[in-house]
Amino acid sequence: MSPGRDRQRAGRLIVRREALDRVRPERQGTEDERFLQRPGRPAILDSDPWRTLRIMSEFVEGFDALASLGPAVTVFGSARVGEDSPIYEQARELGRLLAREGFAVITGGGPGVMTAVNRGAFEAGGFSVGLNIELPHEQWLNPYVDLGIEFRYFFVRKTMFVKYADGFVIFPGGFGTLDELFEALTLIQVGKIRHFPVYLVGRDYWAGLLEWLRTTALPRAMIADLDFDLLTVTDDLEEIAAGLRRFTTSWASAGEAGPGRAGGHDREP
């Protein structure tokens, strides 16, 4: 039986529990599109005040669903990676390793690298979270998600990726992956969140970007040399899992639980 056939849905929350067919009506554009449009004054008066309540409800739903989540690692990467790709198998193996270290995994819940990570964690008996997003072309939750939340707004979803993570792992990807990478680095750089580990997987893939940062951005003082300490580039998945475990253990020994757990601190998103 497919692992995706035993879920129960409550509103925009999807929990693996029992078989349920998901039926969605056709939509004209996404909620983000409608929110970011600049209509005339009457439309703003009619719709935007009510939209703030919908945004608030997404925050409340996300916080409520994830508040009791234990140690967790957020993993990003391309949705376009197929099962025959070495990147897919790497991501699947990382999911297994993180589950064996006691971490839940958090992904965007879609295809490609997201599926691979959720699958690896699921197969190893770990807890697998998918934070899905409404897109013009539907992105369905992959079948390996234990807890899924569907978001209308990117900025709400991105808050959840950061708030409940003890670390980030970034596989090769496109604009969306780069967006998440640089947002995490910026939040750490400016002190909005703790300096949790950020790993880049794929030395060959990231080499050109890092070279550009060193030879173009750094000489122009757009970044500082110390900023390179904000991330680690490696293809050693065992190193990543062990490093994340050391990080969370050091927090515990210092008397600080991670975010989203009893006794823990809140990170400002």
Domains of the chain (ranges, CATH numbers):
57-253 (3.40.50.450)
Residue carrying structure tokens 């969140």: 193
Task: Write the DSSP string, 147-210.
Answer: EEEEES-HHHHHHHHHHT-S-EEE-S--HHHHHHHHHHHHHHHTTSS----EEEE-HHHHHHHH
Give the rounded distance of the alpha carbon of 210 from its chain centre: 22
At residue 150, φ and ψ (nearest 5 deg) are -100, 125
User: Which residues, including other chains, have CB under 8 Å from residue 91's CB and lie 6 or more apart?
Assistant: 75, 77, 81, 113, 116, 117, 120, 171, 201
User: Which residues, including other chains, have CB under 8 Å from residue 107's CB and lie 6 or more apart?
Assistant: 74, 75, 76, 113, 114, 117, 118, 128, 129, 130, 131
Per-residue pLDDT of the chain (269 residues; tens, 9 = 90+): 455 546 555 556 767 543 233 323 444 566 667 667 665 555 554 577 778 888 999 999 999 999 999 999 999 999 999 999 999 999 999 999 999 999 999 999 999 999 999 999 999 999 999 999 887 765 689 999 999 999 999 999 999 999 999 999 999 999 999 999 999 999 999 999 989 999 999 999 999 999 999 999 999 999 999 999 999 999 999 999 999 999 999 877 776 544 433 333 333 33
User: Which residues, including other chains, have CB under 8 Å from residue 209's CB and lie 6 or more apart?
Assistant: none
At residue 129, φ and ψ (nearest 5 deg) are -110, 140
Residue 96 near residue 128, CB atoms below 8 Å: no
| pLDDT for the residue 258 | 47
Q: Say how far apart CA 199 and CA 165 lie, in whole Å.
A: 13
Q: Say how far apart CA 243 and CA 30 lie, in whole Å.
A: 39
Dihedral sign, Cα of residue 250, residue 199, residue 242, residue 77: positive
Residue 59 near residue 153, CB atoms below 8 Å: no
| pLDDT for the residue 11 | 55
Closest CA to 77 of 87, 66, 69, 68: 87
| pLDDT for the residue 269 | 35
The residue count of the chain comes to 269
| pLDDT for the residue 138 | 56
Q: Say how far apart CA 260 and CA 69 lie, in whole Å.
A: 6
| pLDDT for the residue 48 | 73
Q: Say how far apart CA 237 and CA 99 lie, in whole Å.
A: 13
Residue carrying structure tokens 């945004």: 55
Three-state secondary structure readout of 107-139: ECCCCCHHHHHHHHHHHCCCCEEEEEECCCCCC
